[in-house]
Amino acid sequence: MSEQLDLQISAFLDGVLASDDVRELEQRSRNDPTIAARIDGMRRANSMARDYFDSKLNEPVPLALARAIEGSGSARQRVPVINGLHEDIAGSGRGMMFAIRASAAALALLIAGALGGYAVATWPDQTLVAQNEGWLSDIADYHRVYAAEQRHLVEVAANEQPHLETWLTKVVGVPVKAPDLTAQGLTFEGGRLLVAAAKPVAQLMYRRPDGRVVALCVIMAPDKSTSSFVDVTVSGTRMVSWKEDGAAYVVVGDAGDVSLPEIARAAAPLV
């Protein structure tokens, strides 16, 4: 894989790739399974690196490091930056955080390199979803929190569905409609407003007879292109996403929920 392609994939995953380049990358991934596998590997590397360093935030700071920070005062230091550049950073606290971020980036690149030569399973018909991977990660975090709620599962209840749809449509900027998924064994409970990847997101909540929660989330997409269903697991949460008419959608549920693709296909014509 060329360095230029890796930079393009990285920009895609960060949600900053231009619309024309997104369409070109989608076409290339459909025609070349190796490129699709590379994108999948880099996406998973991002998730692995994020999970790893998130876990480190819960570990206690070593005593020696704490003493060194306490004794350093406000001395200025030069911290090495990727690509051989340097940056003056005031205070050891900022310097330490910068070093952690640099290490995280290096680990992500290392994992991506390791995955690059591995024949990973590609997405359905090798199609990309032109959306920021970061919003899926944010949605996974929200789902883990709200799916555990009973009384406070939603912000606006299902008995106010017309108001909920009008409100979310206005704020999100794309039509938001709660599809009837009773045929899939789901009862509509209502919805709420989220923020993911710095954009407003509509979250529509459904409950199974056994109490498990399935969510349908909607966010404004960067262009009007259409993509088919993508089935991925992000941070232990299964997601089936697609994109159509300027909006990106994702059905979210438990990691082992095998019915999510069927639910997504049922919901797509109704949203």
SS3 assignment, position 249: strand
Structure confidence at residue 127 (pLDDT): 33
pTM for this model (two decimals): 0.54
Structure confidence at residue 260 (pLDDT): 94
Separation between Cα atoms, residue 265 and residue 207, nearest integer Å: 18
Question: No. of H helices and E strands in the chain?
Answer: 8, 9
Each as own residue / partner, the long-range contacts of residues 8-13 (CB below 8 Å, 24 or more positions apart, any chain) are 9/38, 9/39, 9/42, 10/42, 12/39, 12/128, 12/130, 13/39, 13/42, 13/43, 13/46, 13/132, 13/133
Which residues make Cβ contacts (< 8 Å) with residue 30, sequence separation at least 6?
Answer: 36, 125, 126, 127
Phi first, then psi, for residue 35 (nearest 5°) are -70, -40
SS3 assignment, position 133: helix
Give alpha helix (H) positions in the chain. Answer: 3-13, 19-31, 33-56, 63-72, 92-116, 133-146, 161-172, 260-267
Which residues make Cβ contacts (< 8 Å) with residue 31, sequence separation at least 6?
Answer: 126
Mean pLDDT by 10-residue block, N- to C-terminus, for the chain (271 residues)? 78 77 82 79 74 62 63 48 41 48 50 42 34 72 84 91 96 95 96 89 94 94 83 85 91 90 94 89
Which residues make Cβ contacts (< 8 Å) with residue 211, sequence separation at least 6?
Answer: none
SS3 assignment, position 256: coil
Closest CA to 123 of 240, 254, 267: 240
Structure confidence at residue 69 (pLDDT): 61
